């Protein structure tokens, strides 16, 4: 199994349940990890692997769409990765909302989406 990861991709986005969150925005970190079985004739090129630049582009595009729940964002990222790379066996997407607007100091809130779903 080959695992490819993109860690700590930072975005400023407008996700949040409350209208103020969608108005003022917040910083987010996105981690993506994928796993797949390589073909026996893996060549030194991108055609038989996962291009982490494409993972970043998918995350970037999805982070631009304002949503109430970061769970929804994570699911959209996961679905797009599955659609682009159908040979992937596992996907894990974690989204961290930095300094969420709570009454106390909190480093981040987060959600993790796993594919396939854990049983």
Q: Which two tokens stand for residue 101?
A: 């607007």
In CATH, the architecture of 2-115 is: 2-Layer Sandwich (3.30)
Task: Compute the C-alpha angle 26/75/28, nearest 5°.
Answer: 20
Lowest mean pLDDT among 16-25, 38-47, 74-83, 89-98: 38-47
**In this predicted model, what pLDDT tens digit does every residue of 1-50 receive, in sequence order?**
889 999 999 999 999 888 888 888 999 999 999 999 877 676 766 667 89
Task: Compute the C-alpha angle 112/28/17, nearest 5°.
Answer: 75
Bridge partners of residue 87, in order along the sequence:
none
Q: Give the pLDDT score at 74.
A: 97
Angle between helices 52-63 and 70-84 (to 10 degrees): 140
Segments making up each domain of the chain, as ranges: 2-115
């Amino acid at each position: 199994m080959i695992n490819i990861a993109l860690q700590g991709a930072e975005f400023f986005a407008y996700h949040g349940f409350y209208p103020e969150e969608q108005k003022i925005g917040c910083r987010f970190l996105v981690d993506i990890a994928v796993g797949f079985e390589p073909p026996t004739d893996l060549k030194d090129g991108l055609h038989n692997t996962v291009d982490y630049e494409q993972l970043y582009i998918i995350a970037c595009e999805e982070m631009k769409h304002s949503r109430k729940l970061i769970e929804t964002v994570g699911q959209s990222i996961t679905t797009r990765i599955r659609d682009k790379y159908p040979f992937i066996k596992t996907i894990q997407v974690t989204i961290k909302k930095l300094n969420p607007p709570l009454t106390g100091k909190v480093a981040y809130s987060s959600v993790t989406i796993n594919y396939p779903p854990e049983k």
